[in-house]
Structure formats: structure tokens, C-alpha cells
Structure 1
Amino acid sequence: MWSPKPVPTMSVTATAVIRLGMSGNRMLATSLGLCIVVPLLILADGAHPAHATEIESADTSATVLEQEQRASRLELQSVADEADLAAKALSALESDIAALRADQQELDSKIAETASRRAELDQKIAAGEQSMTGLSERQDSVRLSLISRRSVLAEILAALQRIGRDPPPALLVTPEDALSSVRSAILLGAVVPEIRAETEALAADLKELASLRQAIAAERLSLASALERNAEEEQRLASLASEKTALQEESSRRLERERKRAEALSVRSNELESVITTLADEIVALKQAAEAARKVEQDRQRQLAEQLERARAFAAVAVPDKNRIMPAYAFSKLTGTLLLPTHGETVRYFGADDGAGHTLAGEVLATQKGATVSAPADGWIAYAGPFRSYGQVVIIDTGENHHVVLAGMEKIKVSAGRFVVAGEPLATMGQTRFAGSAALSLASERPTLYIEIRKDGQPVDPRSWWKDDMSSRKANNDT
């Protein structure tokens, strides 16, 4: 950056002017260079725009395709992993379905066994009911037999009761009752054995009937319990069968979904493999195109380097072209070769006291009235015009971040944006010194030209660039 300096140095405003002038003039020089063949330095600064764009585009496209290829490979790997998981899921589902079918067959077999047991129980219940019917009929017949002989039994029982209450008299004591006793004995002898037999048979029948009733009741309880267990088993088996059927249907649906998913993954895998193959072919083609363009560019650069070398060799021995729009030589290589902008006497040197308590950033040249000020080197006019009390100021951009500042002139013949060559008139000096130099304690009132050379925005000692020695810096009449 150009920092403010005491009189007669330049300020920050001039720095901004330099920057704007440099930008505008370089664009102007580039546009004019399209019509001139001589300045090969322009072409040597970089690659051909079309070739560079082609190479960069090919490299960029290849990089993009490689990224797409990597992404496709990652996606393919992911699809392959998903396909493996789908295959494992299919295998597991098929095993589950096979196990469910086996369980279903086992349940069907158990349901058949339960139905068979239910049939056997039903037969036992029917047989028990039939047995109970026979026993009930026999009980009824025994009851009817007893009812039919109730009168006889009543008489017998009455007689027995009478005998028990009033035993028969002894025959020897009361012979008048002997006939009644004989008759009673005959009747009892005829009836009692039959009653005893029937009573024993009835008792046996009643005992058998009671036993059968107990057996039938116990069988009924057993059959009822068996029927209940059989019903529970049937219900459990039916529930298991229904559950197994639902699981089998759900597994079948999942199996179908997994099969469709596996098919979709297979199709996607084939598509990705095709895309990867296509991208690989395109990448190879783009790399080959980029390599071919790079070889063409290298050949062109080599040819330009050869031409540039020939141009430099020619420039070393030939006089620069007056129609050039670029500096003929690098400014840093011109030390000890430049002529002063005008004839005169150096009255203040770089680093000396400027008379105001500061160090001088340039040098002051006392010249003649109306003297012509010329460009000391090729360059672009970065600024041309009045600046504060310094009079007319011209700033020349000589390239390589070097600037030559000339101040204290009266009339300027150039304008900003123009390219000037060494020795080209820039301005003329006035009649007296301007206020910018008033602080200097000079011995004469001659016009003074302030000269400053800057590199990277910092002032440097300009004496190393001048060709004239100290004895030649005398004032001459340039008119």
C-alpha cells in the first residue's frame, strides 16, 4: 500500500489512482495485443485458453465421473448386502413355513386322535345309558312284583306280629286251641320259605341295582370329565391350528414380499453394474482426451517457449519496436540503463532531509523553464493530472509491481490508460517551483521535478536505475 509521506511524497489518494490505472491499462493492453504478433510475452504467461478449458473440463468431468463411479460402487455394495440379507430372510422364512407345515400336520393328527377318543367316549356313554335303561326296567319289574304280593306279605307280617305279641299256647295245656295252632303252622310252613326266597332274591336284586347305579354314576362322572377334557383339547388344538394357519399365511405373504424385494435388488444390482461399466468407459475416454489435450498443450507450450527464447535473443540485440504495447524489457533488469526524465541537476537525493524534518522518499531534479519531461521507461500511465500542491503528476506502471512517480510539472501531454515507451514526451515544466517543493531550502528558484520509484508500494533509491553519472547531471537548456 502507498502510505502518506511528507512533502513532496505521494499520498493514499495517488495509490488508489495507481490501482485503477493499472487495471484499466492492462485490460487495454490485452485487447490491443490481439492485433499484434510481436509481444510473445503475453502468450508465454499462461496456457492457451481453449486448450486449458478443454483440459480442465476433461479433468473435471473425469473427476465427477469417478466420484459417481465410487458412489455407484458403494450403492452396489449396499445393494449386495441387502440382497444377502434378503436371501437369508428368504431361507429363514422357508424354514419357518416348513416348520409350520410340520406343526400343522401334527396338529391335524392330534385333532384326529381327539375326534377318535370323542367317538369312543360317545360309545361308552351310549352303552352306559343302555345299561341304565335295562336296570331301570328290572327295577320296575321287581317293584311291580313286590307291589303285587303286598297283600300276602301284609298277612304274613301281620301273622308274624301276632305270633310275636301272642305266642301260640301249649297243646297239652289248652287243647281247644290245637286246631288253630295247626292251621297257623301249616300256613306259615307253606308261605315262609317262598317269602324267604323272594326276599333273598329281591335283596340281591336291590344290592345289584345299587351297585350298578353307583357304577353308572361313577362312569358318568368319568365320561363327563373325559368329555370336558376332550372338549378343551379340541378347543386348544383348534386354536393352535388357527394360529398356525395365520402364521403360515403371514409367512407366505412375507416370503412373497422378500422374493419381490430380492428380484428388485437383483435388477438394481444389474443396473448399477451396467452404470459402473459405462462410467469406467467414459472415465477412460475422458482421461485419454485430457491426456491428448495435455500433450497438445505441452507441445504448444514448448513451441511458445522456443519462440519466446528466440524473441528474447532478438530483443537482446535489436532495437525495441516503437509500436509495442508491452514493456520491451523487465523493469528490474534495467538498472543502470535509464535516462533521466529531463536534463537538470539533482539537488536532493533519496534519504536526504527534505527541509521539513522528514526523510526524502525520492530525489529532486532542478531543470529549466519549459523543459520537456519524458518517460524514463516503457509503461502504462496509471494516473495523469493535478494533485494537491504538487502541480501536475504522472504515475507510470512499469510492470513487476514497479511505479515511477513524476511531480511538479505544469502541462501534461498524456492521459491515464495510455501505454508509453521510453523517451516519449509526457509533460513540460513550468516557470517556478510549485508549493510542493517550497519547504526545500534550494539555492535557486528554478523549476524542480520530483522523481520517485516505488516497488510493491514502497519507495526505493532511484539512483541505481540511472545511466548518467553524477557529473553529467547539470542543468542544460532544453529549449
Structure 2
Amino acid sequence: MTGRAPSGGGRALFALPLAALLLAAPLAAQEAPPVDTIEPPDQALESLERSIAEEKARQAEAEKRARALKAEIDAVRRELVAAADRVQDREAALTYMENELSRLTREARQMSDTLDRRQAQRAQVLAALERLALRPGSALLVQPGDPADAVRSALLLRAAVPAIEASARELAGEIARLAEVRAALRQQRDRVASASDALAAEHQRLNHLFARKRELLAKAEETSAEVEAHLAQLANEAADLHDLIDKLNAERLALAARALAPRPTPPPAPEPAPVETAAASPKNPPTSPRADQLAALSGLSPGEAKGRMPLPATGRVIRRYGATDPDGGPASKGLTLATRPGAQVIAPFDGVVAYAGPFRGYGRIVIIDHGDSYHTLLAGLGRIDIAVGQRLLAGEPVGATPAEEDSNLYLELRRQGQPINPLPWMMARDG
């Protein structure tokens, strides 16, 4: 019995590994991926290349939409330049009309006051003459007093009548002139009201263009982000392809289908509906000659544009570069313009917005970088319509002065950080 024990024990010991192998086989079968789920390397590579080609097509489509948006933004910006120029033209015309209205009002008031005084004087003279004329000649002879006084009164009456008649004719002429002035005053009020309505319409159009520009810029940012995302995805796909090729060359191992499956491609973005740009719309008025002059500044350096830049707002220069401060402060480093309330402010030259917002001692300011170490500072704004980093065209609106009387706009031109006289760079508006 002892001789058979080792044999039986050996069979038992041999059966244990065999049983373990038999038990482990189903587990191994469960952990290993099915053979039919493993994609051959060549097919995986082809699938990945097809995914990359689709990404490239999507990238090209996104870039195409970005170019179309840029063209539309440029068209809106050109229309903004023309619209701002029309606003400034109407502001200048309205300011002239209002000044003429004030002059006519003062003239009518002065004439009316003068006529009232002269009519009061004539009324007193006529009353005295009337009393004198009511006395008959015989009564003058028998009334007590010096006969010479009676004769003198008669002579005075005879001499006064022609003068009174001439004065009456002059008075009638002055009354007719006052009627003409009052008629001109009414017409001027109508013209001012019409010009105010036209200016309000231009402002409304300008606000519409601002809204359209903001919408297009937002779309452009979205499209730019989409292009960047596609580029990043394409780079990732390219990296995956490189890794795959390395693995195929090094080990030629089959990869799991889940690892090699191409990244789900989102459905292509819908084609944007065609939008009629501001420049192409038949309802838009033609651009002004001045807007065409401003467009000709594109591509020039600030030095080459000397004498051709527009003043940023319509108004009177009330303080020049280098003028002393009446309160004893430092000399002026720029120009100060007296503008109408809420006057439109434009960029004097192409550039990029370097700063836009409040600044101590200056109020709301805008700094524009024109390149070649030239910068423009606009201070005293009541409203700012642009943002930092935005590119501007010469004549493009940037904001408005405060909507209150005695509005002033300060303009400063700097070269290499030092203020210079901006007046030689500016171009006067016709009229």
C-alpha cells in the first residue's frame, strides 16, 4: 500500500495544474477580445486617413465661411465710414442752421422791441397833434396867451405832418421787414426740424450698422474658434497616425477596434444663409466723395497721410497745440474742439484700438495705434462704440461726445511717445 501511495499522490498533484488550466481557459477567453472585432492594421490606417481627409474638408469649409464673413465685415465697415461721414455733414449743416435760426430770432426780437418803442413815441406825438388839430383857428386867436405861441403852434403842426407821414411810411417798411424776418424764421425752424429728423435717421442707420458689425464679429470669432478646433483635432489625428505607423513598423500587432475607431465626426455646420451686405444693398445711399478720399488713405503710412487725415469731429478749434492754459496750467499738447452735443467722433486714420475706456483726468478716452510709432488719443468722449484690439479704418466711428451743451473733444497725436502738433496732419471739412 505504501508503494502505490506515491503513484496516486502524483496523479493528484498532476491533476491540480490541469484543473487550474481548464478553469483558467474560459476566463482567458472572456478577457481576450474576439478575433472578428480586431480591425486589420491596413484598414485601421485607411479609416484614420479617411477621417483626416474629412477633417481637412471641414477645415476648408470653415475657412471659406471665415473669408466670406471677413468680406462682409469689411463691407459693413466701409458703410460705417460713409454713414459717419454723412452724420458729420448733417451735424455741420444743422449747426449752421441753428446758428442762423438764433441770428434771425435775435433780429426779430430786436426789431420788435424797436418797433414797440417807436410806436409808443409816435402814439404820443399823434395824440398831441390830435389835440392841437381839434382846436379851430378862431379859438387860437381869442385864447389867452402870446399870439406868437399860437403862430408857433400852427407852424409846428404844419411842419410835423410831413415828418409824421414819412415816419409812418418808414414804420410800415419796418413792419414789412419784421414780417419777412418772421417768415424766414418760420422757414428756418422748418429746415432745422427737417435736418434734425434727417440726422436722427442717419444715427438710426449708424446704430443698425453697429449692431450688424457686432453680430458679424461674433460670428467671425465663432468661426475662428471652429477653425482652431479643427486644426487641433487634425493635429491629434496626425499624431495618432504617426503612433500607429510606429507601432505597425515595430511590432505589427493588432490593435483593438475600440482604440482604432475614428473619432465621431460631428455633422457639418449648415451653410449660412446669404446675407445682403450693407455695401451691396440697393437701399443704401452711395458713399460720399469724402468717404472715397478716406478709403484712399488705406495702405499709406501716417507720415504719407500728413495733411489728409480728417478731424475726428465737426466743431471749432478753441485751443491749439502749444496754447497756454489761462488758469496757469501746462501748455496744450493737442487740439480742443468745441462740438455740438452728442457729436459723432471718427478715427482720423487706420489703426488698431490700443485702449478704450475711462482714464484718470481724461474721462473716457480712445487710443489708436497707427503703426510707425504714431498714436492718436481722443479724450472727452461721452460714449465709446469700439473695443480694444479692433481694427479701424480712417473715418470709422469710434463714439460720440457727451449729449450736453459745451461738449469738447480733445485730440492728441504722438510720435514715438512724444506729443506733436496734430494740425498739419488734419484735413479741413469743406464748408
Using the size of structure 2 for normalisation, the TM-score is 0.42
Whichever of the two has the greater Rg, that structure is: 1
- Compare the two structures and name the one with the higher helix fraction: 1
Using the size of structure 1 for normalisation, the TM-score is 0.38
Q: Higher relative contact order at CA 8 Å, sep ≥6: structure 1 or structure 2?
A: 1
